[in-house]
Amino acid sequence: MIASVIFSVLLIGGFGWFTMNILKIRSNILRGRDLNRNDQPKERWKTMALVALGQKKMFARPIPALLHLGIYVAFVITQVELIEIITDGITGSHRIFMPALGSFYTFIISIIEILSVAALIATIGFLSRRNILKLARFHKPEMKGFPTFDANMILCMELLLVTCIFTMNGADEALYLQGASHASPEAGSFGFAISSWIGPHLFGGFRVETLHILERIGWWGHWIMVLTFLNYLPYSKHFHILLAFPNTYYSNLEKKGKFTNMEAVTNEVKLMLDPNAEPFTAAPATEGAPQRFGAKDVTDLTWKNLMDAYTCTECGRCTSSCPANITGKKLSPRKIMMDTRDRMVELGDARRKNGQEYEDGKFLLGDYISEEEVWACTSCNACVQECPVNIDPLSIIIDLRRYLVMEESKMPSELAGMLTNIENNGAPWQFSPADRGKWIYED
């Protein structure tokens, strides 16, 4: 009874804390501007199935893709076992589904054990890539400090979780062989794929009392690691485990390179070019400052930009493919997403504490992302193409540029000359439109 009460308290407390953090994240994301991404539902479901569920874009790099697949499938399938753990924890039973399911139960747990071994191998592989092989994309400046700690922390949690699973099953198997299991003392063996070997070889020499303790350590350790992992997710890059699905569903389905236009600016230009155009009727003015041209802070970005930031896996594929970064420029698309998320969390926490109108005097542009980074981008869309969960760093960069140009009148001198030529000549070059035929064709 005491164990069931402790389990129930942990269950309610763990899921309650997780729910509270989810609501905070939702509140932060909704601070962004409105954006309609509800069109083409069939195409969106297809994109989510291929990219998030099917891991389609991961396989551009086969080795990490296979390692990730091992952890991904294990994570999804092993959640089935949580149903039994929660039921056992509340009722005080042990392997409550085993008598009813029989051999099918053995089959399910065997699959979970095989996948757990695959996850163990993949976890060791990922730890080696980060800490022994030291892949360059995991050691960029933005990865110093917490990001590296975070990645290693999650992988160590995976190792501990798998250890708990096999300690629980292996000790229970050894207890079965001695006729002393919690569930059915008269049974002969579980017959699970891995623990039927681990049990007699690793735990066969222990006394029954010791095996009971080891089995309970494995069972409680498994449960506590699940709750710890669950509540660590909202603070970690691994939150993409949950957000990858909605983020890919709300992907930008337009062709890459097609930029959005501000409606107010578009209509103003139409009126200037067409005297017969109907005047644009703006929406009723709302309280507060008017909407900025472009983005200076996270509240000027769309909710999808902010969801992108929370979904970022910090894998660095975008940065490793960015021509600006490769050639030594300061720009890192991964850093753009990390900075956006950090600023969003900072502002969200401050406003929950001090009121929704609170301004802390900081901005995404300037305090987190420099103008040098923004102007280093070549708009090539390599980062968008490479991202395994369809994150779009370029849309954030473009909005930051818009603010600099349209609000601050700041731009590199090379661009100023080009824009002047476009305004005067209708082309980036210093040639009169009347002379265009002279330089378009060769004699």
Mean local confidence (pLDDT), 75-98: 87
* Amino acid occupying residue 427: A
Least confident of 94-98, 118-122, 249-253: 94-98
Confidence category of residue 402, pLDDT binned at 50, 70, 90: very high
Q: Is the pLDDT of residue 399 over 50?
A: yes
**Selected residue with higher pLDDT from 369 and 180:** 369
Mean local confidence (pLDDT), 433-442: 72
Mean local confidence (pLDDT), 227-238: 93
Confidence category of residue 105, pLDDT binned at 50, 70, 90: confident
254: left (phi over 0), alpha (psi -120 to 50) or beta: beta
pLDDT value at residue 79: 81
Spelled out in words, what is the top-level CATH class assigned to the domain 252-270+292-410? mainly alpha
- Residue that has been written with the tokens 């000790």 in this structure: 171
Taking Cα atoms as reference points, which of 440, 435, 413 lies closest to residue 424? Answer: 435
pLDDT value at residue 435: 79
Q: Is the pLDDT of residue 321 over 70?
A: yes
Taking Cα atoms as reference points, which of 341, 154, 127 lies closest to residue 233? Answer: 154
Top-ranked range on mean pLDDT: pick from 54-63, 99-108, 188-197: 54-63
Record the tokens describing residue 286, joined without a space: 């709302």
* DSSP helix/strand/coil, 356: coil
Q: Is the pLDDT of residue 236 over 80?
A: yes
pLDDT value at residue 443: 52
pLDDT value at residue 159: 93
Mean local confidence (pLDDT), 217-221: 93
Mean local confidence (pLDDT), 332-340: 96
CB 317 within 8 A of CB 121: no
Q: What is the DSSP string of 70-101?
A: HHHHHHHHHHHHHHHHHHHHHHT-SSTTHHHH
**194-221 residues labelled b (16+ CB within 10 A) or e (exposed):** bbbebbeebbeebeeeebbebbeebbbb
Q: Is the pLDDT of residue 421 over 50?
A: yes
CB 333 within 8 A of CB 383: yes
Mean local confidence (pLDDT), 390-414: 91
Distances (CA, A) of 49 to 46, 175, 247, 430: 5, 43, 12, 50
Q: Is the pLDDT of residue 324 over 80?
A: yes
Residue pLDDT, tens place only, 42-72: 999 999 999 999 999 999 899 999 999 989 8
Interatomic CA distance for residues 204 and 184, integer angstroms: 18
pLDDT value at residue 281: 52
**Selected residue with higher pLDDT from 290 and 360:** 360
| Bridge partners for 369 per DSSP | 365
Residue pLDDT, tens place only, 121-158: 999 999 999 999 999 999 999 999 999 999 999 999 99
pLDDT value at residue 286: 46
**Selected residue with higher pLDDT from 201 and 51:** 51
Residue pLDDT, tens place only, 237-295: 999 999 999 999 999 999 888 888 877 777 777 777 777 766 655 444 444 556 788 89
Mean local confidence (pLDDT), 28-45: 94
Least confident of 184-198, 214-228, 361-375: 184-198
Task: Give residue limits of the domains in the chain.
Answer: 2-30+61-238, 252-270+292-410
pLDDT value at residue 285: 45
**Selected residue with higher pLDDT from 155 and 96:** 155
φ, ψ dihedrals at 302, nearest 5°: -85, 160
- How high is the mean pLDDT of the chain? 89
**Selected residue with higher pLDDT from 92 and 390:** 390
pLDDT value at residue 127: 94
**Model-level pTM?**
0.87
pLDDT value at residue 189: 59
Residues 6+ apart with CB under 8 A from 277: 270, 271
